[in-house]
Amino acid sequence: MEVHVGERGLERAVKHLKRKMATEGILRELKRRRHYMKPSIKKRKKAAEAARRRRKRVRQMNERSF
């Protein structure tokens, strides 16, 4: 990944780099890989996230129906 500094300055280049990394999901991937997670725990977290999203979707649908 490259960011050209040019005339704009270093701070703008760093800001541009951070934005590029965020859009490509690199920061999220780094956070996820920071520690090893056992497959069973990974599966449990995935199920919990799905349940959380499902509850949120149901709550939003109930709010819209009123």
Provide the residue-wise pLDDT of the chain in tens; the chain has 66 residues: 788 788 878 999 999 999 999 999 998 899 889 999 999 999 999 999 999 999 999 999 999 886
Token pair for residue 44?
């449990």
Whole-model pTM above 0.75?
no
**pLDDT value at residue 39:** 96
DSSP string, 41-52: HHHHHHHHHHHH
Token pair for residue 11?
């701070």
Return d(Cα 23, Cα 16) in angstroms, integer: 11
Helix and strand totals (H; E) in the chain: 3, 0
**pLDDT value at residue 51:** 98
Return d(Cα 31, Cα 37) in angstroms, integer: 12
